[in-house]
Amino acid sequence: MANVKLRNVRKSYGPVEVIKGVDIDVEDGEFVVFVGPSGCGKSTLLRMIAGLEDITSGTLEIDGQVVNDLEPSKRGIAMVFQSYAIFPHMTVRENVAFGLTINKASKAEKERKVAEAARILQMEHLLDRRPSELSGGQRQRVAIGRAIVRDPKVFLFDEPLSNLDAALRMDMRMEIGKLHQSLASSMIYVTHDQVEAMTLADKIVVLKDGQVMQIGAPMELYHEPANLFVAGFLGAPSMNFLRVTVDAIDDHGVTVSNSALDPVTVAHKGRKFTLGQTATLGVRPQYLAPAGDDGMLHGKVILTERLGSETVVNVMLKDGTQLVAALSEDAILDEGTEANFRFDPAQAHIFPEVD
């Protein structure tokens, strides 16, 4: 167990900078998820922590020690890869014990540690099989077993569930969550899947183009996104963005409107606005409700999708933008009808930038 500190970490491939000064703290025993779209640099960052990519500038500390120039094996980390990276010619037992074999551990120690890892991952019955005889989920379990046996200070996961099918992914996600509870080690987990991020993380780091967009607890990011990118990235269906004009500004909030939206006052949370500027109003689909004449959003229903647990309604607003509303399962809105919606301004977000 250990903490990990990244200070102004940068990475360049020639003239191209892919990690542009990142500061992240991972506390002892914390589960931190790096999330972001493809190409945001999250995997590169993880590989830099692992030592598989060198760090162009900045410092990386693990357990209080600067490890920038240390070999991967000396950093006290273990890594689980998306492609499992288990050795095809070895049995599960040999794979799990690989690190011990390399370090010439005694036979008794090997057996004890492999048995322990197998017990934690409930794969005692798989130990004598070869990887070709295992399913994807079982292979990933072997890879995690190999990581556990190393007894690392920090576990690193590089999109470990991306190669699994949906059902298995959910099972393994829960297993990794349980594993974190039972081992209480620090873990860093890279994914592009926001559900994994939301469910597993103590702390989420949202990355975009090699920069940290926001760091915080999952619900904090969900309810208080720092910017348009984070607001749009987390949550499904994603947040509705409406282009609005600032009509009035006071100490508490700004009043905004557009041709489809009646004036509404939203807390500005310290963000700076100028009168008359174009801004973006964000409202999550879950916080929209159908309304009668008191509704402040006006449009026409163009598509209704019944998912069972909820009904997702696509609305064409009067100004031409599309709005998605996630309503309760019994809400009936016929396609083609005029509809009004309302929302609680306290649950809306106003951003000065426009996408």
- Candidates 1-9, 65-73, 211-219, 270-278: pick the segment binding another protein (CB under 8 A): 65-73
Residue 258 has a CB neighbour count (10 Å cut-off) of: 19
Instruction: Check if the beta carbon of residue 271 is closer than 8 Å to that of residue 228.
Output: no
- Candidates 71-79, 215-223, 309-317, 344-352: pick the segment binding another protein (CB under 8 A): 71-79
**103: CB partners within 8 A, 6+ apart:** none
Answer yes or no whether residue 105 interacts with another protein by CB under 8 A.
no
What does each C-alpha distance from 12 to 15, 16, 341 come to in angstroms?
A: 7, 5, 48
Of 73 and 322, CB closest to another protein:
73
State in angstroms the smallest separation of the CB of 89 from another protein: 4
**290: CB partners within 8 A, 6+ apart:** 325, 327, 331, 333, 339, 340, 341
State in angstroms the smallest separation of the CB of 155 from another protein: 11
SS3 of 72, please?
helix
Query: Which residue in the set 33, 50, 188, 315 belongs to the binding site for another protein (CB under 8 A)?
Result: 50
Answer yes or no whether residue 78 interacts with another protein by CB under 8 A.
yes
Of 85 and 184, CB closest to another protein:
85
- For β-strands 186-191 and 31-35, DSSP reports them as parallel
- Candidates 68-76, 242-250, 277-285, 295-303: pick the segment binding another protein (CB under 8 A): 68-76
Alpha-carbon span 216 to 235, nearest angstrom = 15
- Candidates 6-14, 101-109, 204-212, 258-266: pick the segment binding another protein (CB under 8 A): 101-109
Residues 138-177 within binding reach of another protein (CB under 8 A)? 146, 150
**23: CB partners within 8 A, 6+ apart:** 6, 7, 8, 9, 212
Answer yes or no whether residue 74 interacts with another protein by CB under 8 A.
yes
Answer yes or no whether residue 248 interacts with another protein by CB under 8 A.
no
- Give the binding site for another protein (CB under 8 A): 50-52, 71-74, 77-79, 81, 83, 85-90, 98-99, 101-103, 146, 150
